[in-house]
Structure 1
Amino acid sequence: MMKLGTSIPGLACALLLSACATDAPLLRPEKSSVVTLDSALAEANRLAAGGQQDKAVTLLRSAAGSYPADKAPWLAMAQMKFDRASYGEAILHAQEALQRDPSDQVGNSIIAVSGLRLSTRALADLSQQNNLSGSLRTEAQDLARVLRTSLGEDVLVPPPAVARKAPLAPAKRMAPVKPGAASSADPFGAIR
């Protein structure tokens, strides 16, 4: 039989060695699943097409955090917000994309059209309230002039087309009736 005093250090060593052996997997770093930008964009498109826009935007925000220098997640979020008529948010996301690529046409287009739609909505509301006067009216007219010049149009919104009546065609002249050529019983005899 062994004495209790000599077996305690051996038991302690055995416990320490077994503890190190079981903790080793916990100390190893886990392999993180790296999501590529293309796969994140594809998954976000799939979610959005399935009607899960909120999940798609959350995924795109995560992709934007993982790829901070890329404009693609921001443009995708801007387009989703634009499609849902959330023009203010669409503008914010498009501005983020333009910080990464100032010459991006899609980002600039989303900002321009979203801004015009917000302005149109606000002007319609003011017009209904009869509060479109003074400097606000002058500024709106100046903006309309800039838009007309930019678009190369004289009128931004043409009036409804008025149905014009086609002018009457001139009447055909009948050939002169030759005496004795037709009888009074045949009125079309002179035309033949």
Structure 2
Amino acid sequence: MIKKRVLTSILSIAVLAGCASTAPAPAPKPAPMANAMADADAAVKAGRTDQAYSILKAATVAHPTDKSPWLRMSQLRFDDKNYGEAIVAGLQAIERDPDDMLAYSLVAVSGLRVSSKALGDLTQKNGFSGSVRSEAQDLATLLHTKLGGPIVPVKRDEKPRAAGIRAAAPAAVPAIKCSGPFCGLN
């Protein structure tokens, strides 16, 4: 009988000990964004852009609603001529702040540089003809119209003008027949 009571008491204590738990330690607070940005800037100044990018990437996890690390990552990738990643990071910054004009500029210029390189590669490989060529010309006309610059058409027999020499601007920009993925830029 005493064995039963001792055994029952030990089992009860073991069950109660299993139920008792200590409060979990509070999760460490993430470092303030200012610290992450300062660390990233220091890494950039030291020439370690990959380390700066890693610091900023960690800051995006710690501060998911802050646009600052995304904007800085976009700028870093743009400066490194990694335009694809600059676009992705810039779009993340825009998602967090739709009014950020720097983010829009980084995305737009990065996209134009990617397009320019692709068109240049196509031209070198003699693959720039037909509908691709006409769509690119339509896009160039649209960009010139939106940016307010003159459009200087180049005839097939004529060589492009030297840099710095500009032809007179046409009196009026012709209407653009828009067909393709860039129609929404109007």
Pairwise TM-score range, normalised by the shorter structure: 0.5 to 0.7
In structure 2, the partner of 1:80 is: 76
Which residue number in structure 1 is paired with residue 184 of structure 2? none
Distance 2:164 2:24 in 1: 75
Residue identity over aligned pairs, in percent, reads 41
Corresponding position of 1:188: none
Per-residue CA deviation, residues 111-157 of structure 1 (Å, 9 max, x unaligned), is 11001111111111110111101110011001100111011111379
2:130 is the counterpart of 1:127: no
Q: String of CA shifts for 1:147-184, please: whole Å, max 9, x gaps.
A: 1101111137974346xxxxxxxxxxxxxxxxxxxxxx
> What is the deviation of 1:31?
7.6
Distance 1:86 1:117 in 2: 10
The residue aligned with 1:52 is 48
Task: From 141, 145, 149, give the equivalent of 2:145.
Answer: 149
Instruction: Determine whether 1:69 maps to 2:65.
Output: yes
1:109 is matched with 105
Partner of 2:128: helix, strand, or coil? coil
Q: Which residue of 2 aligns with 1:36?
A: 32
Could you say if the C-alpha distance between residues 70 and 30 of structure 1 is closer, same or farther in structure 2, counting changes exceeding 3 Å?
Answer: closer
Higher Rg of the two aligned structures: 1
**Aligned residue number for residue 93 of structure 1:** 89
Q: Distance in 2 between matches of 1:97 and 1:71?
A: 5
> Distance between the aligned counterparts of 2:89 and 2:141, measured in 1?
28
Task: State TM-score, norm by structure 1.
Answer: 0.66
Unaligned runs of 5+ in 2: 1-21, 153-159, 166-186
Of the structure 1 ranges 149-158 and 41-50, higher mean CA displacement relative to structure 2 is found in: 149-158
Higher relative contact order (CA 8 A, sep 6+): 2
Describe the SS at the equivalent of 1:139: helix
Query: What is the count of residue pairs matched by the alignment?
Result: 140
Which residue of the other structure, out of 160, 164, 174, is the alignment partner of 2:163?
160
Matches of 2:162 and 2:60, distance apart in 1: 45
Give the distance between the partners of 1:109 and 1:158, measured in 2 at CA: 28
Instruction: Return the offset for 1:36.
Output: 0.4
Q: TM-score, normalised by structure 2?
A: 0.68
Contact 2:141 2:151 in 1 (8 A): no
Q: Which runs of 4+ in 1 moved over 4 A?
A: none
Per-residue deviation, 1:30: 7.2
Q: Distance in 1 between the 2:107 and 2:27 partners?
A: 40
